[in-house]
Chains A and B, each alone.
Chain A
Amino acid sequence: MSLTFDIFLLLYLIAAALVVARAKDLLAASIVFSSYGLALCLLWQYRGAPDVAMTEAAVGAGITTVLFLVAIGRTTRREK
């Protein structure tokens, strides 16, 4: 894939990671982490790793996020 798209995806990943690091709202951080996983899945699809991309989309972006959401629901949403 073209270099521009590569750079866009990599920059998106870094921006999403920074948002996760900065966000005080854990719910928002989890959702942004889910989109981070989806961007990673796209990147791996273009890198010729469709098996890993599929797993990351289902596990990294899906199930991990759900587990975080359940944990936030059982504890607190706000980071002090």
Chain B
Amino acid sequence: MLTALWHNIDYVASVVLFCIGLYVVIAKNNLIKKFLGLNIMETAVFAFIIALGVIEDGQPPIMTGDAHGPFASPLPQTLVLTGIVVAVSTTALALTLIIRVYRRFGTIEADELRELE
């Protein structure tokens, strides 16, 4: 199993990044910090999906005249392209909500917000 993990070092790095993001989301109280953690989780998933489409000695999937294979799979790249744009829109909406919460309650610490209720 360890040799399999060593060959799949890209996947392992994605898992580690995902878990760091998960830790930030669970453990931190600050809402902005939580969303930095969520962004780390998102990029870790993107890195994992991109790593799935990689091929040994692969070229980018762009078929100009003198390009020759093997080509990386275009499908994961397309999915990630979509995902990045969706990630930035969710982040924008979350941050505006955080700004609104700060104006209403004067704090963005999750435990202080819970005490206010």
Contacts and interface: CB of A to CB of B under 8 A. Distances in A.
Nearest to B94: A71
A48 B20 contact: no
Given A6-B9, A51-B81, A80-B109, A64 B91 contact: yes
Interface in B92-117: 92, 95-96, 98-99, 102, 108-109
B: interface residue count bin? 35 or more
Contacts, number: 128
Interface of B: 9-10, 13, 16-17, 20-21, 23-24, 28-30, 32-33, 35-37, 39-40, 43, 46-47, 50-51, 53-55, 58-62, 71-72, 77, 80-81, 84-85, 87-88, 91-92, 95-96, 98-99, 102, 108-109
